[in-house]
Structures are given as structure tokens and as C-alpha cells.
Amino acid sequence: MAGRLVKVSELKKIRAGWKRAGKKMVFTNGCFDLVHLGHIRYLKQAKSLGDFLVVGLNADASVRRIKGPKRPILPEEERAEILCAFRFVDYVVLFWEDTPEKLIRGLLPDILVKGADWAAGKIVGADLVLKNGGEVRRINFVQGKSTSAVIEEIVKRYRKPRRLKS
């Protein structure tokens, strides 16, 4: 089963049902612009930590503030649809703030997941999750696999050679 894009209000109701059933919700977030092998492995591992995986997806305006005016490459609707196509992603929810703190506060996941490049003390929402009896997990990245690396490779391959003036 593939995931689906939901509004925060709907996800809160779904989350309440999971809690009553004793199911564990895993939450992660990111821009997920130009999904690559590193993203796939990260999301699969995140899903393996609990019963349901929710991905908080930065909306376009948020990505531009964080990554700069040339990003995202793909618009939020396409990024959400791509994430929803994976069987290991249960729900995708957009957020417009620069961090997912408000979303994490509203959902209080059982397990909050971020990449290992985030220092434990810098993970947004970790304090909220831990205070409510949850866990914070860091997942190692696949070396050399990143959206920035993909963009750099595309630019390198397709940059027109400059002609010298004679």
C-alpha cells in the first residue's frame, strides 16, 4: 500500500486511533527534492522502526528560505506524490514553517528520526518527543548520495564548454 497526502487535522485524528491501538508512529521530515537512493534507504529504515511512517514535507516557500531561491527543483505537489508512491511511507503532510516543531508538537510521534548529520542536541522537536516518552533516532546516510551531489553531477555533465577567443 502506498501512502497518501493528508492535512494536519486529519492526521491528528488518525494518530489518535493509532495511540488507542498501541501502534507506534515514526516521524521524519525534509525537503525530499530530487529523491535519490539515500532518501529511499533512509525512509525504509525509518519505517522499520515502528508501525506507521509519517513524512513532514517542507512546502516550496519553506524550501526556498532554507535552501535558497533556486530550490526546490520539483514543486511540493510532485515531491508529495513521489513520497506517497512508496509502500514504506504511510502519510505525507506539508508544513510551511522553516522547522517541523509545530507539526511535531501536534502529533507527538513515538519515534522521531533524522539523519546522522544532525547532532542529537540540534534535532528540532527532540525535547518534545523525549518529554512525552518517545525516542529520537539518527540514521546514517549513504555516502555520496545527496540532492546537492545529484545537482552538481547534472551541472558538471551538461555545462557547455567555454570557447577560447582567438
Q: Domains in the chain, start-ordered, CATH in brackets?
A: 1-99 (3.40.50.620)
Check residue 151 and give its pLDDT.
Answer: 82
Q: How far is CA 157 from CA 72, 146, 148, 149, 152, in A?
A: 20, 17, 14, 12, 9
Is residue 136 within 8 A of residue 115, CB to CB? The reply is no
Check residue 118 and give its pLDDT.
Answer: 79
Half-sphere exposure of 99 (CA within 13 A, CB side): 10
Is residue 30 within 8 A of residue 54, CB to CB? The reply is no
Task: Express each pLDDT in 120-166 by its tens digit.
Answer: 788 999 999 999 999 999 998 777 777 777 888 888 888 876 666 66
Is residue 25 within 8 A of residue 109, CB to CB? The reply is yes
Check residue 1 and give its pLDDT.
Answer: 60
Cell of 166: 582567438
Residue 63 above 80 pLDDT?
Answer: yes
Residue 95 above 90 pLDDT?
Answer: yes
Placement of cell 545537482 in the chain: 151
Q: Per the confidence metrics, is the pTM higher than 0.75? A: yes
Which stretches of 48-86 are DSSP H helices?
60-67, 76-84
Residue 88 above 90 pLDDT?
Answer: yes
Q: What is the mean pLDDT of residues 20-34?
A: 96
